[in-house]
Structure 1
């Protein structure tokens, strides 16, 4: 089987995970890299055996390199839109990290380009590939818990809590991120709701910044935080299912706790990243008698993100694939959350 030649943009910590995932497919070969940090470029360029003339300080040259068949972008939010724009202009397939863009205005401009000339694209909503979530989607679609009436989704991390005195980083810089916890973790919650239940119809939100300043490790100065570190919202989906969402980095004791509870007329499903190969199914086994069963996720639900990316490059779009429009719709909902919180009102989508 042939290998696809990949240009990798962004060589920070998360890039190493993407490199490992690409290697696992046996179908993707990194032939060019780009990063603004020369030390990172040398370190990973040497490790990957990338030729010197394929190490680009500017991502535009990498995308335009005729040896690069597809692009993988693992960068901070402020360059997502520019990278996607050049990929669209060059008609180069790509996989980009979430959130789709920093602002909805950026997303609208990209949609105009995409509609004129669509390009195969994957957005990095990686939790679609958590086996328990995929199995939950299957059970919901099969009607195992009847009509879904409500659900709750939360994504909790604890590393930003006050007791840890986490320093100021780019994730707290509004010019780079657009939003804080909302865009970082909340975008995954929004995508999970769309993956499981369809589109958002309306929502009402609150954003908060509980820790108003943090120490900049480089300067030693305290820096004001202009993005949220807690987000919560309620939403109504297309099928009238009501959803409750919360996310924060201040949840002491939570490492990477992304979980979904789905409540239907005849049962409940609970799935979590804390136990990705199992889920809990509650149902009435006999009249008046509830049964709570832990189900092992079947092998068909253990799909890898980069296997789907390879499938995209080969011309197919697998079920549940997070494509360009999923990124766009996600950004539309993120924007509605911000507008709802600022205006203290319900937003219709």
Structure 2
């Protein structure tokens, strides 16, 4: 039986757009049918490379979303456009993969949730680390009870690129109106998703945020621009089941590359994973009457795990899986981000109300 060939429209032709197109090329029943970017030169360059006709090269995302010859959308744009693109896709009932964070604000998130409830379709949010082999393996360890009852999850996500010595210029990521928040939305949202993926919903959070460098140079004018988002965020939390959580993130960590590490502490054992070593799982257990200690470094075969965009195509064809980060995962992630921001502003912890019954249709 022949499978449907999905005609994909790519919105955003920066580095993440190239990343997604490269991975789409490995899926046999998907082809790039149209592209879109506000940069007309980037559109022409990519269009020539893909040999797309002129009518499939867009600079207006509304037009590519409305194209009847585009079955599914892959969106990788700056945060300020996430909500508008998702809104247009929902209005057209067109399946979409959208990069994280879900939105800039809870107001945008609430509007999308209401629209989606009346016109649902497959929607996946790009929390890509769920698809690392080590994440998949640990998810199963937790489900199988290998670690016993989980008591604590700890995570940090560190990079060095924003440190003063690199004199990184002012971009949209340093402007609240465009980004929503700084390091929290950029990479901290992945820590929130990891906690939800492994443990469950956040119940309470207490946040702390700081801006290390409050002025950065504008490459166009040479003038210093004010940075009004966070360079550093940490938060303590309580997750469902009474699991405690501790998290911190910044890009001022000299000597780090993409250091996203997660540790889960259970009554029977501890497991440690690092995104920079995606095929390794460090497992420590005590078992038997003498509580014998065993320490193992497991090496995983990444070919046995499903890639993210393949799971998205399977979602289109078969429905969601336990792995797929849906629109609801994006919505709840945004709830936690907002609670962290609110807590950091006034020093008061926040209790989260997930409204499970009210939002249960958003899958």
TM-score range, shorter chain: over 0.9
Name the structure 2 match of 1:124.
126
Cα separation, 1, equivalents of 2:349 and 2:176: 24
Secondary structure of the residue that 1:46 maps to in structure 2? helix
TM-score by length of 2: 0.94
Cα separation, 2, equivalents of 1:289 and 1:251: 37
Cα separation, 1, equivalents of 2:301 and 2:199: 21
| One of 307, 313, 316 as aligned partner of 1:313 | 316
Contact residue 133 and residue 272 of structure 1 kept, 8 A? no
1:129-156: CA deviation from partner (whole Å, max 9, x where unpaired):
0110111111111111111111101111
Name the structure 2 match of 1:296.
299
Cα separation, 2, equivalents of 1:237 and 1:303: 28
| One of 55, 59, 62 as aligned partner of 1:60 | 62
Cα separation, 1, equivalents of 2:74 and 2:233: 29
Map 1:1-349 → 2, pairs under 5 A: 1-285=3-287, 287=290, 289-297=292-300, 302-349=305-352
- Shift, 1:30, TM fit: 1.0
Cα separation, 1, equivalents of 2:227 and 2:57: 35
Cα separation, 1, equivalents of 2:56 and 2:323: 34
Report the count of equivalent residues: 349
- Shift, 1:299, TM fit: 5.7
- Shift, 1:43, TM fit: 0.9
Cα separation, 2, equivalents of 1:300 and 1:51: 35
Cα separation, 2, equivalents of 1:110 and 1:221: 37
- Shift, 1:318, TM fit: 2.0
Cα separation, 1, equivalents of 2:304 and 2:329: 20
Contact residue 229 and residue 249 of structure 1 kept, 8 A? yes
Cα separation, 1, equivalents of 2:291 and 2:144: 23
Cα separation, 2, equivalents of 1:163 and 1:17: 28
Cα separation, 2, equivalents of 1:299 and 1:156: 24
1:160-179: CA deviation from partner (whole Å, max 9, x where unpaired):
11121111112112221010
Cα separation, 2, equivalents of 1:283 and 1:8: 45
- Shift, 1:300, TM fit: 7.9
Unmatched 5+ stretches in structure 2: 353-363
- Shift, 1:290, TM fit: 2.3
Contact residue 83 and residue 102 of structure 2 kept, 8 A? yes
Cα separation, 2, equivalents of 1:39 and 1:258: 35
TM-score by length of 1: 0.97
Contact residue 268 and residue 287 of structure 2 kept, 8 A? no
Cα separation, 2, equivalents of 1:185 and 1:139: 25
Task: Indicate the larger mover: 49-58 or 76-85.
Answer: 49-58
Residues 49, 228 of structure 1: alpha-carbon distance in 2 compared, 3 angstrom cutoff: same
Contact residue 10 and residue 75 of structure 1 kept, 8 A? yes
Secondary structure of the residue that 1:314 maps to in structure 2? helix
Contact residue 155 and residue 260 of structure 2 kept, 8 A? yes
Contact residue 205 and residue 232 of structure 1 kept, 8 A? yes
Cα separation, 1, equivalents of 2:269 and 2:134: 17
- Shift, 1:289, TM fit: 4.2
Contact residue 7 and residue 71 of structure 1 kept, 8 A? yes
Contact residue 172 and residue 225 of structure 1 kept, 8 A? yes
Contact residue 135 and residue 301 of structure 1 kept, 8 A? no
Secondary structure of the residue that 1:152 maps to in structure 2? strand
Secondary structure of the residue that 2:52 maps to in structure 1? coil
- Shift, 1:319, TM fit: 2.1
Residues 32, 300 of structure 1: alpha-carbon distance in 2 compared, 3 angstrom cutoff: closer
- Shift, 1:70, TM fit: 0.7
